[in-house]
Chain A
Amino acid sequence: NAGVTQTPKFQVLKTGQSMTLQCAQDMNHEYMSWYRQDPGMGLRLIHYSVGAGITDQGEVPNGYNVSRSTTEDFPLRLLSAAPSQTSVYFCASGQGLGDQPQHFGDGTRLSIL
């Protein structure tokens, strides 16, 4: 059972480039989310989804796009990378009702030059 799989693990981009961070889960979880980790700020929610076809904004959505065409996949797109988006990105999934915890991927370390 793979759980939550994030790819790539590391990426370096130039300012203005676009890219997609991939997230897939094999636990049939309805709820999926993307967070970014910044020093001293813990995990900040970028976007989340409560099921296929449904997405919503989190705390820091600007500069990021998401879609949820299947239950398994929840990709995060950076439209035009900026140095302020240098961070470690975590994808998580859960049952969604709140009475079950989220399961996290191993993270993607992204550097924008």
Chain B
Amino acid sequence: ILNVEQSPQSLHVQEGDSTNFTCSFPSSNFYALHWYRWETAKSPEALFVMTLNGDEKKKGRISATLNTKEGYSYLYIKGSQPEDSATYLCALLKTSYDKVIFGPGTSLSVIP
């Protein structure tokens, strides 16, 4: 079973601050990485799918980068807003049609 780690476990930032968090995974086992946003009492929603080393994806104020050689992905949020408060999950696949294993998540709280 893959060991997918995320740090920090939780984060509290002021509205307007920019922030970032990390997803780490074994660099020898990689096919694709997914980022999801999970609001309380809702179901996870996909943000990005990343498959190539050096991938950079952007969606509004949120962006992500991928380094498969060293086994990490960063998620950045620029100018955090209270509506960004959620748990951010990354998930890993070793091969296509493989099990999708989630990290424990980073809980972000944006204080108005």
User: A59-B1, A90-B43, A105-B43 are contacts. A99–B103 as well, Cβ < 8 Å?
Assistant: no
Among the stretches B61-69, B70-78, B89-97, the one at the interface with A is B89-97
Check if A58 sits within 8 Å of B99, measured CB to CB.
yes
Complex formed: what's the CA distance from A110 to B101 in Å? 22
Check if A98 sits within 8 Å of B96, measured CB to CB.
yes
Task: Place the interface of chain A in its size category.
Answer: 20 to 34
How many chain-B residues does the 8 Å CB contact rule pick out? Answer: 27
B44 at the interface (CB under 8 A from A): yes
User: A98-B97, A99-B49 are contacts. A35–B102 as well, Cβ < 8 Å?
Assistant: yes
Complex formed: what's the CA distance from A68 to B62 in Å? 37
Beta-carbon contacts under 8 Å, B7-40 to A: 31-32, 34, 36
Nearest B residue (CB) for A51: B97
Check if B46 sits within 8 Å of A101, measured CB to CB.
yes
Check if A45 sits within 8 Å of B32, measured CB to CB.
no
Known: A33-B100, A99-B32, A102-B46. 11 other contacts (CB 8 A): A42-B102, A43-B44, A45-B101, A48-B99, A59-B101, A90-B44, A96-B96, A98-B32, A99-B49, A101-B34, A104-B44
Instruction: Enumerate chain B interface residues (CB-CB to A < 8 A).
Output: 1, 31-32, 34, 36, 42-46, 49, 51, 87, 89, 91, 93, 95-105
> Can you show 8 pairs from A to B with CB atoms below 8 A apart?
A33-B100, A40-B104, A42-B105, A43-B102, A96-B96, A101-B46, A102-B44, A104-B43
